[in-house]
Structure 1
Amino acid sequence: MSNSLPDASVAAPRLRYAYNTNGASNHRLDDALLLIAEAGYDGVALTIDHHHHDPFAPDFTGRNTRLANQLRELNLGLVIETGARYLLDPRQKHEPTLLAPSATGRARRVEFLTRCLDVCAACQGETVSFWAGVPQPGVEKPQAWDWLLEGVHQVEAAARERGVIASLEPEPGMLVETVDDYLRVQAAVPSLRLALDTGHLLVTGEREPAAAVREFAAQIGTVALEDMRRGVHEHLPFGEGDMDVPTVLQALHAIRFSGLVCVEMSRESPRAHLMIPQSLAYLRQAERQLLPA
């Protein structure tokens, strides 16, 4: 998938939207996929978790085939998200990461990410989005960076073997927090793409979201979009924060972005049946205002 800038005289395609299943965690995956498809989304951002396509449950290969068939029947594209909180350790959120002090812990994270790549390959998904993690107390940053680059090299090698795109997501509070941190990793792993969460840019204050979309047009593997307040890492429904959604959509149109734009409403699971259609209606209305027929 190429997001390089084409001839400006060619009309921009309609943006393609996906909904992240971490915002539908109270629903069975089958039901969540149906709600997403019925609302009119073009895809799903599937957060692999114990209740949504557990990668460590029996018959992994068979379940991947079934999922691929479901997505095909529902006409949904796919991005794989890897932000499950307690899948790998029931006592520590998000642990172990690629920065875990133990080699066993780091290998466990790589195994999980490799299984996510397997799901993506089986379903012909667009990319697998993953993040770095937070250095644990007593771990110096140079050591954390060494472990991170070692793990990213392993993940990227596994992605190439499967014909899958791996995208690194800068996450507030983690070792890779900003898009500049991403560039540091990409310098060592040139084929690594960027998973750009536009809301995170409001938290870190590093760049305006629309400006980052334009700057990283050629490197973006996937985009997440939600509302958020400046300086506060809390995913909000559209219209409740400081995100200039129309400007971001305009930037995505300008770069002819053809991948899935993933709506991440991770706190909205109790009302997912309402938030799923409402979010898409908001985005389509914003698009219509930008690009009148």
Structure 2
Amino acid sequence: MKLAYSTNGFTQRPLIQAIEEIAQLGYPAVEILADAPHAFPPSKDAPWVPDVIKVLDRLGMEVSNINGNTAIGFFREHTGQISFEPSLCNASQEVRARRLAYTKGCIDFAHTIGASNISITSGMCLPGNPPPSAWGHFLAALTEIMDYAEKKSINVGIECEPGLLVENGDELLEIIRAVGSTRLGANLDLGHAEVGREDIDALLRKLGPRIWNIHLEDIRDRKHYHLIPGEGTMNFAEIMDTLQDIGYERFITIELYTYAHNDVNAAKRSFAYLQPMLKEVMQSEIF
């Protein structure tokens, strides 16, 4: 296991500078936001892609994930509000097609820079699109996405979140099984699981082999607001123990978009809090 930090916590800086800052703080990996103001629209041919590859190579940084969860880049005015539209479960075929093209762009971008996985969300059930119909739209979209991802050898992780169509681990596992692709799995945000009152230990054990990336932040009183690790009530030591026990070897990506106004400090404090804990649990396995 290794720590990574998402550039969605550094959105007041250009992408290249965000990667450099994260590397200087000691992180061996970075998650790249495939949304404004960073890698949007995601593309293998965008003029900034060679610069991303160069800075990753120069710094020896790995990429934990290409974060294709949000879509504020589709809108001319950025209000600071997270947007999941256009989504893959939208009732409009035209709207879904826009998100499908975007998601395929994420897959192409991941393939070009050497990332092994991207993350997506289901979107929300908007008025006139109740869960049964939204589920059908999402399932059809995923089938097309996974056909494309398999050809590029890229894993796709769905991130469940309270309030979305796919909002918990059981629904996530259901859609993974329904699609049937071995490259479809979870971008598992454990803070979301805490908000949704899920049993995190059981969730990790249930999804284990299909977890492509972990999102981590602290949560207090089950309110969905991403806090710096140590400021909430998440039991990180227990989480690390379970991850080690199930043989998880991928990345733990800290996601603190709520601290873009104080990015370096948040990333520094997160590393100082979690890295010793991670090191201790990994060393205990050796002995």
Q: Could you state the TM-score of these two structures normalised by the residue count of structure 2?
A: 0.90
Do residues 71 (structure 1) and 71 (structure 2) align? no
1:274, distance to aligned residue in structure 2 (A):
1.2
Give 1:64 shift.
2.5
Looking at structure 2, the residues matched to 261 and 289 of structure 1 have their Cα atoms a distance apart, in angstroms, of 15
Match of 1:240 in 2: 231
Distance 1:288 1:161, change over 3 A: closer
Between 84-93 and 61-70, report the one with greater CA deviation. 84-93
Aligned to 1:119: 109
Give the counterpart of 1:162 among 131, 144, 152: 152
Query: What corresponds to 2:277 in structure 1?
Result: 286
Greater relative contact order (Cα 8 A, min sep 6): structure 1 or 2? 1
Corresponding residue to 1:129 among 103, 119, 132: 119
What does residue range 26-65 of structure 1 map to in structure 2 within 5 Å? 26-55=12-41, 60-65=45-50
Q: Secondary structure at the match of 1:218?
A: helix
Q: Is the 8 A contact 1:42 1:260 kept in 2?
A: no
4+ residue runs of structure 1 moved beyond 6 angstroms? none
The runs of 5 or more residues in structure 2 that have no matched partner are none
Which whole-Å CA distance do the structure 1 matches of 2:9 and 2:26 have between them?
A: 17
**More displaced, 224-233 or 30-39?**
224-233
Q: CA deviation at 1:56?
A: 6.2
- CA RMSD in angstroms comes to 1.9
Q: 1:243-285: per-residue Cα shift (whole Å, max 9, x none)? A: 1011111112222322111000110011111112221111112
1:71-107 per-residue CA deviation (whole Å, 9 max, x = no partner) reads 1221111110113341123479321101222111000
Give 2:3's aligned residue: 17
Distance 1:229 1:21 in 2: 23
- Choose from 66, 69, 84 the match for 1:83: 69
Separation in structure 2 between the aligned mates of residue 252 and residue 271 of structure 1, nearest angstrom: 29
| Structure-1-length-normalised TM-score | 0.89
> Compared with structure 1, are the counterparts of its residues 105 and 230 closer, same or farther at alpha carbon in structure 2 (3 Å cutoff)?
same
For residue 66 of structure 1, report the CA deviation from its aligned partner: 2.9
Gaps of 5+ in 1: 1-14
Cα separation, 1, equivalents of 2:223 and 2:154? 33
| Partner-residue secondary structure (3-state), 1:194 | strand
**1:136 partner amino acid:** L
Cα shift at 1:231: 2.8
Give the equivalent residue in structure 2 for 1:222: 213
Indicate the structure with greater helix content: 2
1:42, distance to aligned residue in structure 2 (A): 1.6
Q: Tell me the secondary structure at the aligned position of residue 236 of structure 1.
A: coil
